[in-house]
Amino acid sequence: GENVEQHPSTLSVQEGDSAVIKCTYSDSASNYFPWYKQELGKRPQLIIDIRSNVGEKKDQRIAVTLNKTAKHFSLHITETQPEDSAVYFCAASRGNNDMRFGAGTRLTVKP
Amino acid sequence: NAGVTQTPKFQVLKTGQSMTLQCAQDMNHNYMYWYRQDPGMGLRLIHYSVGAGITDQGEVPNGYNVSRSTTEDFPLRLLSAAPSQTSVYFCASSYKGGSGNTIYFGEGSWLTVV
């Protein structure tokens, strides 16, 4: 089955700096790569996703890039703000019942 | 729309006890899931259902049962609780399977087994 590895496990940045979280996956048939944000004590919520036929997707300060050949994808957050502090999870899937999540990255944005 | 609702939010069980985590969704979603979240391990799928009357195992099904008698409800049963089942449990749903269908999570249930 699919195996997703996520790095780093913790990330601390100054407000205004950029943050990058990287994930690798093992199953070349995976074609959907969502990113979820989980604030402390809250539920995970989808923030952005990308399909395998697209190399990059942006939504305001958030972007995701996908390299199918290398089987890795990354989340980029620019101009970070304290409210970006949370745990971020990447995931990879061929279908929803086989979605595999990374272990998570705890992002801290220091004011 | 309440979305995905799960109860209880917090529960303490003794080893060997059984309990049911309730989950309901009002979005008319076909797919429902139960995940557990443990530190450093992300979200792992316990069981899922693609529609009423149909359930299947995920990554970590041992010690858990599910049923799906209606589209709305998907309870998770712990048969004989063990300390290893101490975790945060999330119920989730999506309209259908296949890539690109957003999974919506409930607020989570914190379970401690002593």
> Given pLDDT bands bounded at 50, 70 and 90, which one contains residue B34?
very high
Closest CA to A46 of A16, A88, A8, A76: A88
Tokens of B114: 């002593």
Our measurement of the distance from residue A45's CA atom to the centroid of its chain's CA atoms, rounded to an integer in Å, reads 12
The parts of chain A modelled with pLDDT lower than 50 are none
Residue B7 and residue B108 in contact, taking contact as beta carbons nearer than 8 Å: no
The verdict on B31 touching A (C-beta cutoff 8 Å) is yes
Closest CA to B101 of B38, B39, B15, B27: B27
Task: Say yes or no to pLDDT of B41 above 90.
Answer: no
Tally C-beta pairs within 8 A across A and B.
63
Task: Say yes or no to pLDDT of B98 above 70.
Answer: no
* CA–CA dist B4, B23 (Å, integer): 7
Shortest distance between the Cα of B41 and any Cα of chain A, in A, equals: 5
The verdict on A93 touching B (C-beta cutoff 8 Å) is yes
Closest partner residue to B42 (CB to CB) among A45, A94, A103 is: A103
Residue B96 pLDDT = 79
The verdict on B50 touching A (C-beta cutoff 8 Å) is yes
* CA–CA dist B114, A84 (Å, integer): 35
Task: Say yes or no to pLDDT of B7 above 70.
Answer: yes
The verdict on A61 touching B (C-beta cutoff 8 Å) is no
Task: Say yes or no to pLDDT of B38 above 90.
Answer: yes
Shortest distance between the Cα of A81 and any Cα of chain B, in A, equals: 24
Q: How high is the mean pLDDT of chain B? A: 94
Task: Say yes or no to pLDDT of B27 above 90.
Answer: yes
SS3 assignment, position A104: coil
Closest CA to A65 of A6, A18, A23, A10: A23
Task: Say yes or no to pLDDT of B78 above 90.
Answer: yes
Decide the pairing of beta strands B109-113 and B87-94. Answer: antiparallel
- Chain A residue with CA closest to B43: the answer is A101
Residue A38 pLDDT = 96
Residue A99 pLDDT = 85
pLDDT mean over B36-41: 90
The verdict on A54 touching B (C-beta cutoff 8 Å) is no
Residue B106 has a CB neighbour count (10 Å cut-off) of: 25
